[in-house]
Chains A and B, each alone.
Chain A
Amino acid sequence: MNPVVGLARRRGVGRTGRSQGVLWRAAKTSRGAFGLVLSGAIVVLAAVGPLVSPHSATAFVAQPFAHPDASNLLGGDILGRDVLSRVLNGGWVLLIMAFLATVVGVGVGAMAGIVAAYVRGVGDGAIMRTVDVILAFPQLVFALLLVSVVGAKLWLIVVAVGISHAPQVARVLRAAAMDVAERPFVKAMELNGVRARTIVWREMLPNLTTPVTVEFGLRLTYSIVVMAGLAFLGFGQAPPAPNWGYMISENRIGLVENPWAVVVPALLIALLTVGVNMFGDAVARVSMGAAGRKGELAVASTSIGAMEPPAFLSADGPHSLQPAARNDVPG
């Protein structure tokens, strides 16, 4: 066998000693580890919850707003259902929807931003002005508008929340991609007549994973809050399906009788956003440190700088629901 072809078998050998991925390095910082453990625990709770819940989420097993006792550890809710069972069952749909909305938002936004940065000129103008128009709508209002016109379909909520993220993601990624688009290695491919699509996918995107990762974390935090907020307002799964957001809404009149029915779902949402945000923060910090290293692309700093418009410009309301989510990545 050709010795060179034999080398292909040893693929990965040369990788030893190469710096680890930004996610792994973020997880090793105390901030990142704490965030990961916190959010991971809640994700596990939401995922495993339905399997271990003591009662059915919709069965009436107690008095309305019953105090906690041995059979209902967190007491009963407004209709006498077990709060613990509803908490255990009420997270996974919310989390999946938040995750999907983030995937949609970051995916669409990142592609729009990178393409705009690469094509420049008219294409850039068209994309970014569209972005500006969407940005003019407050985030929650935009979602509410779509949902109230079409109806509270789950897929529509996902798409609506996703689209409302896209403009901010597009702005950040455009700024980062502008820098990469001017790098000599991109020029080298252009000079060979390589197609624009190949350049964007193969040359630019791999060098933008860090800002995309940081954006994903940040947008995931917002998605969770927006999803919970929409559920609170009644736009989510139809009752009697359990949902952390809607639980806060329906049980708030019994806050004095059985506070757990409100406090537990609210606390879970808060801890989840704090955890996700801390991990995202750690990723941003690690990548900023990496940007100073020789040969690494300094895209992370660009993305931090362009992270968010000033508070008075960002009209997205749901932040007021969860002050913790507003814990922005320091620039």
Chain B
Amino acid sequence: MTAAGSAQLDGGFEVSRRGVGLAVRDLRVETTAGSAVVVDEIAFDVAPGEVFGLVGESGSGKTTIGLALLGHTRRGLRITGGEVLLNGRSVFAASPRELRSLRGSEIAYVPQDPASALHPLRRVRTQVSAGLRAHRSGSDVDSRVAEVLDEVGLPSDREMLRRLPHELSGGQQQRVALAMAFVCRPSVIVLDEPTTGLDVTIQRRVLETVRTLCSAYGVAAVYVSHDLAVIANLASSVAVLYAGRVVEYGPSKLVFSSPVHPYTRGLLESVPLADRRKTLHGIPGRVPRPGQRPRGCAFAPRCVARTESCLASPPASCQVGTRLVRCIHAEELLHQHSASHPGSATTTSTAGRADGSPGRGSLAAELAAPADPQEGPQAESASAPAPQDQPRLTIRRLTASYGEVQVLAEVDLSLARNESIAVVGESGAGKTTLAQCIVGLHTRWSGEIDLDGLALSKQATRRDRESLRKIQYIFQNPYLSLNPRKTILETITAPMQHFFSWSGAEALERAAEALRSVSLEPDNLYRYPDQLSGGERQRVAIARALAAQPTVLVCDEITSALDVSVQAAIVELLVRLRQEQQLSLVFITHNLALVRNVAEVCVVLSAGRIVEAGRVEDVLERPTDPYTAELVANIPSLFREGVGAR
């Protein structure tokens, strides 16, 4: 499709009628109650062997489209228009019987969460062969199952065939799900965020498998994801979704290197990069819900390039070079783009930025990594903290366990005033346990944790009020960390009343101030959490933590439940607050790309041990530990192969 370019965009219908692959025309899905439009005017083509990326944030309708390609909708939705052509045959015109024979054999679906998509009581052989038995009766089932397991990179020995889903790792489960989709050699495959929830190393390998399989067997793949970097690496063409419509559609290299639509630009400015430091810019506002979308351009209320005419009527797609852009200002934006690249204005090279970070000389040196002997002597030689520069938080030989299982071993860490440490690692590395030991939620540990030179008790309830106040914890999921039955005012003033006995007008005033400091309007004080978006809730959670006037903030994966544009805004906020309030930060994340934006020091945890610790630039650019090196190499990047470096 990249080669055919615009010709195919115009005449794709004819091309697909004649040829093979997938063609979608004017697809429209509405809610059954109220007929609110969920997705509309969706049109794209996928040629055999091509991977097509469908990218959007939560609520953009990407899963709805993915399912509609198979003629399916979730409960409460219905397909009300358009056409999906599968090798020239209409999916929507198919009878239920024909549809059943199409699904699985011609077009297959890989769901997001393999752990819940696999039948927990069926062995691998039964799971994978189910499709064959349904569609290819009589063929040699066993040999095809063995073949497809080979193709997806799983051993096809008896032992693997006999395993149950819970005996497989997350990556293996996803490969089994892939095998189930590929087993009948479909010509089209829809992958709905199949690597979400997998660690980067496994994600990379699964993605390579998908790419190889699609090109080797000429499968047209639709890859649905919220992760721009994954799509940039995998897809040859991409459609960016916003509020149920495609806002930008074209070759993925072009879309990601020189985006035209303001939303695409905003998204790209929100994505943190592992290989260089850049200032993140979130997109203010939130995605309108179906039925509440504005009359004009759905993005207009959040758009920086908005004019009066944007609000009048929904813009049509217009062709800009080889792309379709749904914006009435597309032409101007394109020219403006060639004059100044929005990314280059905010993106600076690593070399130029290495000294720009606010860290001080001894930061990295204060870290000792006993698991890595090379790091030790170097660290000791440089560490000579001045007495007044006593670290706020010191962790010595922290060993923690859950029952019999040791999850942290001999962890040493030191956090200075106004310093920020990022703790990274894959799932199961002990990151959250470390955070919970610091705040006193996990109590089965030995070693020492000192706050301002005073030893902390293991359990939060045994700690004194001052040390409880000074360390505040922000939880991962803002949908669970706020009491749904309390107003924002009650939530924020609770720590104020508790620690400072402020109440009445004083507490109200300070709560309003706290909300303003996290960039929320004070009129949110009388709302309940369910009236706020995920990003707004996380801001409230931060405001609650700040209400106690802490010195140390422990952030446990605080952006992982949020969309990338919201994540950028939260990170921005955190960086600003840290400077304003002289906070020390422990930032726990699995997302290495984020680390540059929040921390000076990076600690890499693997299986409960610190395998590498040092300045963020050093760890990300010159990793000494093989584990770290692998981790860094596997981060999906928007601009791999120098696509965006101009």
- Contact digits for B465-505, partner A, Cβ 8 Å, 1 yes 0 no: 10011001101110111111111000000110011000001
Q: When chains A and B are docked, how far (Å) is the Cα of A48 from the Cα of B468?
A: 58
Best-buried of B486, B505, B509, B526 by chain A (most CB within 10 Å): B526
A294 located at the interface, meaning its Cβ lies under 8 Å from any Cβ of chain B in the complex: yes
Asked if A256 is at the interface of the complex by the 8 Å CB criterion, the answer is no
Known: A7-B523, A14-B526. A192 touches B469 (CB 8 A): yes
Quick check: A296 and B526 within 8 Å, CB to CB?
no
Number of interface residues of B (CB under 8 A): 43
Interface 1/0 per residue, A8-28 and B, CB below 8 Å? 101111110111000000000
Interface string of A275-301 (1 = CB under 8 A from B): 000000000000000000011110000
Chain B window 527-555, contacts with chain A (Cβ cutoff 8 Å), 1 for yes, 0 for no: 11111000000000000100010000000
In the complex the two chains form, is A296's CB within 8 Å of B484's CB?
yes
Measured CA separation A90–B239 after assembly (Å): 74
Contacts known (A18-B531, A184-B477, A184-B480); A192 close to B508, Cβ less than 8 A? no
Residue A193 at the B interface, CB < 8 A?
A: yes
What residues on B are CB-neighbors of A13 within 8 Å?
A: 523, 526
A203 on the interface (CB 8 Å rule)? yes
- A184 near B486 (CB under 8 angstroms)? no
Contacts of B487 in A (CB 8 A): 14
Contacts of A189 in B (CB 8 A): 494
Nearest residue, chain A, Cβ from B506: A5
Given contacts A7-B508, A187-B441, whether A193 and B498 have CB atoms under 8 Å apart is yes
Residue B524 is within 8 A (CB to CB) of chain A in the complex: yes
**In the assembled complex, B512 has its CB within 8 A of some CB on chain A:** yes
- B118 CB-CB contact with A under 8 Å: no
Q: Which residues of B contact A320 (CB under 8 A)?
A: none
Q: Does B161 contact A (CB under 8 A)?
A: no
Is the C-beta of A132 less than 8 angstroms from some C-beta in chain B?
Answer: no
CB-CB contacts below 8 Å: B376-426 with A? none
Is the C-beta of A188 less than 8 angstroms from some C-beta in chain B?
yes
> CB distance A188 to B475 under 8 Å?
yes
* A298 to B460 alpha-carbon distance, docked (Å): 27
Q: Does A126 contact B (CB under 8 A)?
A: no
| A267 within 8 Å of B (CB atoms) | no
* Residue numbers in B under 8 Å from A11 (CB-CB): 526
Instruction: Tell whether, in the assembled complex, residue B483 and residue A7 are in contact, meaning their CB atoms are under 8 Å apart.
Output: no
B525: Cβ under 8 A from any A Cβ: yes
- Is A18 within 8 A of B528, CB to CB? yes
Interface centre among A5, A18, A188, A294 (most CB of B within 10 A): A188
User: How many A-B contacts are there with CB distance less than 8 Å?
Assistant: 101
Of the candidates A12, A19, A295, the one having the most CB atoms from chain B within 10 angstroms of its own CB is A295
By beta carbon, the residue of chain B nearest A183 is B480
Say if the beta carbon of B296 comes within 8 Å of chain A: no
* Interface presence of B301 (CB below 8 A): no
- Interface residue range, chain A: 20 to 34
For window 133-148 of B, CB contacts with A under 8 Å fall at none
**B522 lies within 8 A of A4 (CB):** yes
Please give me the residue from chain A that is nearest to B472 by CB atom. A191
Question: For the complex, is A328 an interface residue (Cβ under 8 Å from B)?
Answer: no
Given A187-B475, A188-B544, A4-B508 contact (CB < 8 Å): yes
Contact among B439, B465, B483, B529 with A206 in the assembled complex (CB-CB below 8 Å)? B483
Q: How far is the CB of A292 from chain B (nearest CB, A)?
A: 11
A2, A13, A17, A190: residue with the most chain B Cβ atoms closer than 10 Å = A190
Interface check A185, CB cutoff 8 A? yes
Contacts A191-B439, A295-B530 given; does A2 touch B480 at CB 8 Å: no
Q: Which residue of A lies closest to B530 (CB)?
A: A295
Say yes or no: is A207 at the interface (Cβ < 8 Å to chain B): yes
Is B116 part of the binding interface, using a Cβ–Cβ cutoff of 8 Å? Answer: no
Complex interface: chain B residues within 8 A of A18 (CB): 528, 530-531
Is there an interface contact between B440 and A203, defined as CB atoms closer than 8 Å? no
Q: Known A4-B509, A18-B530, A192-B495; judge A295-B461 contact (CB<8 A).
A: no
B123: Cβ under 8 A from any A Cβ: no
Asked if residues A185 and B480 are in contact (CB atoms below 8 Å), the reply is yes
Q: Is B463 an interface residue (CB 8 A)?
A: yes
Which B residues touch A207, using CB under 8 A? 483-485
Evaluate contact between B485 and A184: CB separation under 8 angstroms.
no
Residue A44 at the chain B interface, CB threshold 8 Å: no
The complex places the Cα of A14 from the Cα of B522 at a distance, in Å, of: 11
Cβ of A194 under 8 Å from chain B:
yes
CB-CB contacts below 8 Å: A168-188 with B: 183-185, 187-188
Selected A-B contacts with CB under 8 Å, 16 pairs = A2-B509, A4-B512, A7-B526, A11-B526, A14-B487, A14-B526, A15-B526, A17-B531, A183-B481, A184-B477, A184-B481, A185-B483, A188-B473, A188-B475, A188-B481, A206-B486
Binding site for A on B (CB under 8 A): 439-441, 460-461, 463, 465, 468-469, 472-473, 475-477, 479-487, 494-495, 498-499, 505, 508-509, 512, 522-531, 544, 548
Could you tell me which A residues sit within 8 Å of B by CB distance?
2, 4-5, 7-8, 10-15, 17-19, 183-185, 187-194, 202-203, 206-207, 209, 294-297
